[in-house]
Chain A
């Protein structure tokens, strides 16, 4: 289980930013800082898939970067297996498998070398690496390109390799930031099946997406962030009720509008 409580993160405004400031007043901006994440809380239990939703610029990526320990929150807690990973970032990195659009692969290494490298950095021994790699290559149907350099892969192949890289160390929690963006139907299906497999194994999955059909297909819970603040955290059914619609898209729009009006 992962529990995120009252996360906050602000960034100092650069001189250029201050100089080029437009008249529109952003509620997240004060004189010196941009409060990217103002108060975000959600949780995801064992065997659940949580859909993290929000419009562009809502603070999702910053939140996920804090989950990955790449960024340190100013306030709040991220608890995995009873430990606050903000205080124990190395434990957090061992516990989380993270994939986002900004996590790339080493182009001059083959797919196999890439995945083996990250497994080694996670402290896995040779035998464990081999077993896990074979398992992932089967699961994600990767055998045809494991000896190709990453720079020569198609988008779909790259994403599969990236997913394998993210979960090679058997993480306790998996965080996927828009994992199906830009993929063809076949690869999307493989990714969806893979997430279902993680869920079946009891691994909590936090899954950020703009495709609400994928939420309907995969998620048990939904968390919505808007302008750096959590505006919903509950089951998919509760999400529909809160948004007064059986249609997820409509429910999402209603929740955002309602919160904005409030």
Chain B
């Protein structure tokens, strides 16, 4: 039983995730090839074969303020995105989970269908909506003008990046939340009502604590990928949109420096794991062992 459950996914991920990425982890200690790609991990000379490795890539990351700022900025954006997604997704997931059976799956599908349209196409559409000629910017700037402030540009701003990120990552929050909320027993809430709990109290004391595993799962699915995001900041961020994901992509493409790209990727992965691990630990400690 145990083997049947554990081994198929484990073997698959070892073959197509662990082994390939370990090649790149090893490469983060190698020198880059002159024309990109990977140079040999060892050299062969008169004395025989010996390894030709270096810690330079990691030293570069830790000695440069540049990369610390980048990591910090990515953390900030990922955190904000996660929080905004949670705020937007929770009511939505709750409505879906509590709606009558025959509408439930339909509503759920209605949430996900927009995301089957290509990412780039959706972002371009968002650009048109945020653009200076569109209604949104005109109304906002008319208001600002009325209050006596200078008009702002919605497109190419940190605000646009955040809207874009929330739009892209929303389903990753809605679906786990829904999967969790859907199983809550309505009898519990009825009982609380009978005991005189108000609707707010019922939410904070019962629904929310019970849904914490869903919140944690959704937050992980948004926060971790958002940390490495590069396409949204690239397109919507204007002149200051760069994040650590952009810099990693650059190492593999423009700079043709795969070892340094691998080293940066490993640091990013570790950071993501540490932050989510910490959050999970905090959540468990706060709520107690029950969740």
Instruction: Report whether chain A binds chain B.
Output: no
Which A residues form the contact surface with B (CB < 8 A)? none
